Structure 1
Amino acid sequence: MTTYSALTTVPGRDRAEALAEAFERLDPEPVGVGCFEVEDGSGLWEVGGYFTEAPDAIALSLLELAFATAPIVVSEVPDVDWVAKVRRDLAPVEAGRYFVYGSHDADKVPAGRVALLIEAAMAFGTGHHGTTLGCLRALDRLADDGIVPTAVADIGCGTAVLAMAAARTWDAPVIASDIDPVAVEVARANVIANGLAGRVDCVVAGGFDHPDLAARAPFDLVFANILKGPLIELAPAMARHIPEGGFAILSGILNPQADEVAEVYSRAGFNPVHRDEIVDWTTLTLRRSV
């Protein structure tokens, strides 16, 4: 069955949320409405609706005028088995010693590599995105340099691929957290599928705000693959939870944002170790001042 999307952008959160509410009152009614900030520093928000019938062109034109939006673009969404397509199109990811694959590629795992099973359909963080790939490369460099942490945290863990990579690299307790309960359930499923139950614990938390994280601190290594705004807000907490000599691997940072994030962490007591740019995204490896 063909479905339809109607997407536009609008400046400011308040206007975007009001537009999203107006989308919900359209006839035919959308089956879903989304409202997301565009993470490029422009201040724009993307608003979209998804329909099982073609949306009313006149009603969309009225919304454009009422909310001063960019043109609302309507597209047909073909009837595709997206899970099967993703499985076909996403090849395994190699980052140093790490090999991230889906079950459909289990026969391609090379000998002697750290293999991590992540089903591409489950959640963000398969290793294909520049942010996750950058974090895996940063982790690989630390391991090559002989770094051996005694406690690791993965903040905003998504699939928990980074937490699992750390658990496979070192015999250290690892805790993974995410603010999204669904992501945490996915992370727990991945931990079990990779035979790491008992090695990686997963909790629902915003930042470090969980008693299990507090009990395990300090952490010699913390991953935070999130976004610029939350990373900046986390800087003081990072400084409290990482001891002198410990490392932070930060990503979810667009290339033009990297200097600002690095400066905020410098003021919090972190020194730059490495910067890795992959397409539009930067990964920062930082060390707590000694």
Structure 2
Amino acid sequence: MLEGLPPNGATHVMRVDAPEDAARAIAEFIGETFDPAEVATSAFEIEDRAEGSGWAVEVYFAEEPDEDSVRELIALVSPEAAAAAVFSTLDKKDWVAASLEGLAPVAIGTFVVHGSHDRGVVATNQIGIEIEAALAFGTGHHGTTKGCLAAIVAFGKQRRPAGTLDIGTGTGVLAMAAARLFHKPVLASDIDRVAVSTARANARANHAAAEIHFLHAPGLGAGEFLRRGPYDLVLANILLAPLKGIARPLARLVAPGGTVVLSGLLPSHANAALAAYRAQGLRLVRRRTIEGWTTLELSRDIGRPKR
């Protein structure tokens, strides 16, 4: 459900300008400290400033944060940024409107992810996925989502999966991409009930609901994951800590010869995620880095035993 937009019901925001390395580190550190269902972080480049380009960090909170505690976390990366951080309340209607109006269509392979205001840009030979990201993450504009969409396109050039699993579905953009491209069953899960509801509505609007089963579930312990598996294609666009935590149960769900796509990873975290999945019998096929975020494509060799 990673996307860098405000979490469900966001009420407060913290913003601070910082050099690129510090901005990325602050966003990463805060993102790993808080529950991703309650806090969303975004580090991004600022353009067209009088003094030149620079970077900023925005952190959105579902509830009013303890400012002193947040500043203490930032100070571990940059004392200067901690002192300069600005906290403010957030009008929900304002950020929803701003997030939608500013989103340009994103084209990845045959996919075009767009808002309702850009329906006309989708060509007849493209697969349009319409997303309004007012309540959950996943508009296609984040480097992690782009990396996963590129991996789906690459998989489709080789074969069609008998079944796809999308873990941390957010708005359902990856689940819908797989359903629209392959016309095969998809199981999409998320820890956030609102995200599941939003993704289900998006799937109906995109004529993909018939092929996607949505499931509210923390982790992979629910029996439905096993009953609907194994899966030829598994997508997990979350964060390093939960990716490592689900490595063993996820590997058990992958069909022989299947592909696992992991994202939500900074380049510095990719090897740690890779090590966790190599220990479960998966091997690296491709590593993509888009806009400062890494996506790993892994494979389970046919005949390799599951641990």
* TM-score > 0.5, shorter chain as reference: yes
Q: How far apart, CA to CA, are the structure 2 residues paired with 1:63 and 1:286? A: 36
Runs of 5+ unmatched residues, structure 1: 18-33, 40-45, 52-58
Query: Would you say the 8 A contact 1:155–1:224 is kept in 2?
Result: yes
Per the alignment, residue 208 of structure 1 pairs with: 220
Per the alignment, residue 252 of structure 2 pairs with: 240
1:133 counterpart letter in structure 2: K
Per the alignment, residue 136 of structure 1 pairs with: 149
Q: Confirm whether residue 249 of structure 1 aligns to residue 267 of structure 2.
A: no
1:277 counterpart letter in structure 2: T
C-alpha displacement of 1:220: 0.8
Runs of 5+ unmatched residues, structure 2: 1-10, 17-25, 44-58, 77-81, 303-307
User: Alignment partner for residue 272 of structure 1, among 284, 287, 293?
Assistant: 284
Query: Would you say the 8 A contact 2:266–2:292 is kept in 1?
Result: yes
C-alpha displacement of 1:289: 2.2
Q: Confirm whether residue 71 of structure 1 aligns to residue 83 of structure 2.
A: yes
Render the CA deviation track for 1:241-289: whole Å, top value 9, x for unaligned.
1122011011011111111111221121111111100122100010002
C-alpha displacement of 1:197: 2.2
User: Alignment partner for residue 170 of structure 1, among 182, 186, 191?
Assistant: 182
Larger Rg: 1
- Which SS does the other structure have where 1:124 is aligned? coil
Q: How far apart, CA to CA, are the structure 2 residues paired with 1:262 and 1:62? A: 32
Q: How far apart, CA to CA, are the structure 1 residues paired with 2:13 and 2:250? A: 40
Q: How far apart, CA to CA, are the structure 2 residues paired with 1:230 and 1:49? A: 20
User: Alignment partner for residue 171 of structure 2, among 133, 146, 159?
Assistant: 159
Per the alignment, residue 289 of structure 1 pairs with: 301
Higher relative contact order (CA 8 A, sep 6+): 2
1:107–1:209 Cα change, 3 Å: same
Q: Confirm whether residue 96 of structure 1 aligns to residue 109 of structure 2.
A: yes
TM-score scaled to structure 2, two decimals? Answer: 0.72
Query: Would you say the 8 A contact 1:94–1:100 is kept in 2?
Result: yes
Q: How far apart, CA to CA, are the structure 2 residues paired with 1:277 and 1:171? A: 28
C-alpha displacement of 1:5: 5.2
Q: Confirm whether residue 124 of structure 1 aligns to residue 137 of structure 2.
A: yes
Per the alignment, residue 46 of structure 2 pairs with: none
User: Percent of counterpart pairs with the same letter?
Assistant: 41
Render the CA deviation track for 1:1-53: whole Å, top value 9, x for unaligned.
xx9856798xx99xx89xxxxxxxxxxxxxxxx767999xxxxxx797988xx
C-alpha displacement of 1:114: 1.1
Q: How far apart, CA to CA, are the structure 1 residues paired with 2:201 and 2:62? A: 31
Query: Would you say the 8 A contact 1:156–1:225 is kept in 2?
Result: yes
Per the alignment, residue 25 of structure 1 pairs with: none
2:199 counterpart letter in structure 1: A
Q: How far apart, CA to CA, are the structure 2 residues paired with 1:63 and 1:96? A: 40
Q: CA RMSD in A?
A: 3.4
- Which SS does the other structure have where 1:159 is aligned? coil
1:138–1:6 Cα change, 3 Å: closer
1:227–1:63 Cα change, 3 Å: closer
User: Alignment partner for residue 83 of structure 1, among 90, 93, 96?
Assistant: 96
TM-score scaled to structure 1, two decimals? Answer: 0.76
- Which SS does the other structure have where 2:133 is aligned? coil
1:87–1:239 Cα change, 3 Å: closer
C-alpha displacement of 1:169: 1.2
Q: How far apart, CA to CA, are the structure 2 residues paired with 1:61 and 1:160? A: 36
- Which SS does the other structure have where 1:220 is aligned? strand
Q: Confirm whether residue 197 of structure 1 aligns to residue 209 of structure 2.
A: yes
C-alpha displacement of 1:88: 2.4
Q: How far apart, CA to CA, are the structure 2 residues paired with 1:187 and 1:137? A: 20
Query: Would you say the 8 A contact 2:12–2:61 is kept in 1?
Result: no
Q: How far apart, CA to CA, are the structure 1 residues paired with 2:254 and 2:191? A: 20
1:214 counterpart letter in structure 2: L
